[in-house]
Homo-oligomer: A and B are copies of this chain.
Amino acid sequence: MAAIERLTIGILGGLGPYATVDIFRKILDQTPARFDQDHLHILIDNYSQIPDRSAALKGCGPSPIPAMLEAANRLCCAGADFILIPCNTAHVFLPELRPHLKIPVLSIIDATAAYIAKHYPECSRIGLLATSATLSFGLYAGKFKELLVPDPIDQEQLVMEAIFGRLGIKAGHFDVPRELLLKAARRLVDAGAQAVILGCTEIPLVVRADDLPVPTVDPNRILAQTAVEYALNGHNLTKSKQLIS
């Protein structure tokens, strides 16, 4: 039997930078390793200059697509075999990106939906904390029996404020955003959510798995785990086929 070639992971990062650190660490945590050399080859382009995805989708900022393509091509040229994008909102642009890329992209949305279907088959009402763009472009829509999201006021004053506010996560704060997000999450639980997706990669930076009385689902951790399985099993892996372009 031929040795299975391990694949090189490419992380199209910087959106945001701390979410990129987070997935990098989660990939290491989920790689069976005794020595440095057991770890995977990971290329990261932390290209923070990619224009803001939410602003672009509201029509008040430039498209991130050219810069995302630029970073993806750098990763491809450097030897990445596939790409991860640790940003839920950026997946709105995935259908436009994929035709221009020579290597596959593992979708954080599809990986998360597959994980929930496998691990929480009994949960029919799934709560979602995410950017307004992720909600309005329906990235997680149709993936579950019922999807619960915050009402428009909570969405703006709790979730978006926690991510983008002056004291928000993207500005390097953690305590205020944590309180805002826990308030929004608890309201989803009160409304019947049986699990809550932390569907913006900034959110797991401040909300922990044991913060809620129901399971929290961290798409960045799931994407890391999916990437490790994919990279370790090389080109022979078939079960992740549905996750790639």
Residues of A within 8 A of B (CB): 14-18, 20-21, 24-25, 28, 33-52, 74, 77-79, 170-172
- Let me know if B35 and A41 touch, CB within 8 A: no
Complex alpha-carbon distance, A38 and B48, angstroms = 7
**Nearest-neighbor residue (CB-CB) of A75 within chain B:** B78
- Let me know if A39 and B25 touch, CB within 8 A: no
- Let me know if B14 and A18 touch, CB within 8 A: no
A-B contact sample (15 more), CB < 8 A, given A40-B48, A44-B44: A14-B36, A14-B39, A17-B39, A17-B42, A18-B28, A34-B172, A37-B49, A37-B51, A39-B46, A40-B46, A41-B46, A41-B47, A41-B48, A41-B49, A77-B77
Q: Which residues of B contact A51 (CB under 8 A)?
A: 37
**Nearest-neighbor residue (CB-CB) of A6 within chain B:** B49
- Let me know if B43 and A44 touch, CB within 8 A: yes
**Nearest-neighbor residue (CB-CB) of A15 within chain B:** B36
* Given known A-B contacts A17-B36, A51-B37, A74-B79, A24 and B46 have beta carbons under 8 A apart: yes
Complex alpha-carbon distance, A106 and B126, angstroms = 48
Complex alpha-carbon distance, A17 and B31, angstroms = 11
CB < 8 Å neighbour of A52 from B15, B35, B52, B171: B35
Q: Which residues of B contact A14 (CB under 8 A)?
A: 36, 39, 41-42
Complex alpha-carbon distance, A79 and B17, angstroms = 18
